[in-house]
């Protein structure tokens, strides 16, 4: 079989390639037989896995098997054969948030707030289960569709049940969205996710990440610096929104906004999170 052809899986027909990373390729697929249900299948080649990536994959399966939330990608099943491990998840036709932002350049504050509320409700659910994502970035946030975007948090390969032990920790995630304490290889905890939310929020509103850099060393220098993060004056954002970004993007995790304060922040306003119908209305406006 040609190497570019999708692998075969008993109950599914694999079609378009949706994306690929270091260890995995994701395909759009149809369930055979009468349902013709559309799913996404993440194929992980066993050959490419080292010990750490096997552990990441097992953690991802274990976490996704136990969580059910409207804003977390649903793992429907997992299978394996001689060469691959397959994670069968719901299919998100809207692509990822990174592409959504890129094609629009910037998002209006209203739409950004709706997405933030959906992300915050997923994070609150995980926080209550003591799970940290540790790799929050727009590429790991999927949209159910483009006409009615419903945000789904995906890719739990780096997620962890956070413990209080002070064990040595490995570098996880993507440098552009990584909290300073992670980049500087210090001990870190769940609060790194709050920094990443701040970077995502900044990027959605202003069209670029706060530390956009040409190289890792330049990025590291900006993250290590003590200069406070200036928010662009354009486009204008509401005082509540500005306040939240400034409290999320605080280099010292002890001074950063806490999870309870984040969930209760007036800009996040989870209590008044709109239902699917009002989301549709806001997007069409």
> Which residue numbers are catalytic?
135
Q: How far is the C-alpha of 122 from the C-alpha of 26, rounded, in Å? A: 23
Contact 84, 7 (CB under 8 A): yes
Q: Which of 100, 268, 129, 144 is nearest to 194 (CA)?
A: 268
Cα separations (Å) of 261 from 9, 124, 247, 255, 257?
Answer: 46, 11, 10, 12, 6
Instruction: State the pairing for strand pair 38-45/84-90.
Output: antiparallel
Q: Give the whole-angstrom CA distance, residue 75 versus residue 66.
A: 9
């Amino acid at each position: 079989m040609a190497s570019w052809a999708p692998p075969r899986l008993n109950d599914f027909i694999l079609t378009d390639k949706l994306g690929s990373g270091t260890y995995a390729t994701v395909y759009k697929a149809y369930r055979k037989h009468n349902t013709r249900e559309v799913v996404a299948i993440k194929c992980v080649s066993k050959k490419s896995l080292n010990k750490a990536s096997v552990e990441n994959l097992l953690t991802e399966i274990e976490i996704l098997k136990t969580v059910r939330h409207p804003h977390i990608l649903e793992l429907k099943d997992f299978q394996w054969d001689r060469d691959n491990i397959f994670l069968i998840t719901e299919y998100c036709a809207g692509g990822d948030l990174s592409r959504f932002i890129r094609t629009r350049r910037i998002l209006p504050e209203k739409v950004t707030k709706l997405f933030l509320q959906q992300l915050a409700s997923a994070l609150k659910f995980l926080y209550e289960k003591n799970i940290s994502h540790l790799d929050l970035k727009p590429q790991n946030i999927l949209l159910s569709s483009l006409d009615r975007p419903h945000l789904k948090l995906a890719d739990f390969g780096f997620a962890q049940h956070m413990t209080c032990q002070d064990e040595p920790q490995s570098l996880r995630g993507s440098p552009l969205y990584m909290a300073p304490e992670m980049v500087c290889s210090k001990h870190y905890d769940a609060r790194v996710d709050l920094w990443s939310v701040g970077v995502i929020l900044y990027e959605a509103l202003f069209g670029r990440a706060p530390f956009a850099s040409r190289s890792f060393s330049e990025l590291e220098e900006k993250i290590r610096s003590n200069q406070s993060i200036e928010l662009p004056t354009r486009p204008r954002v509401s005082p509540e929104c500005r306040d939240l970004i400034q409290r999320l993007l605080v280099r010292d995790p002890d001074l950063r906004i806490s999870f309870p304060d984040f969930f209760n922040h007036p800009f996040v306003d989870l209590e008044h999170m709109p239902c699917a119908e009002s989301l549709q209305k806001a997007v069409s406006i």
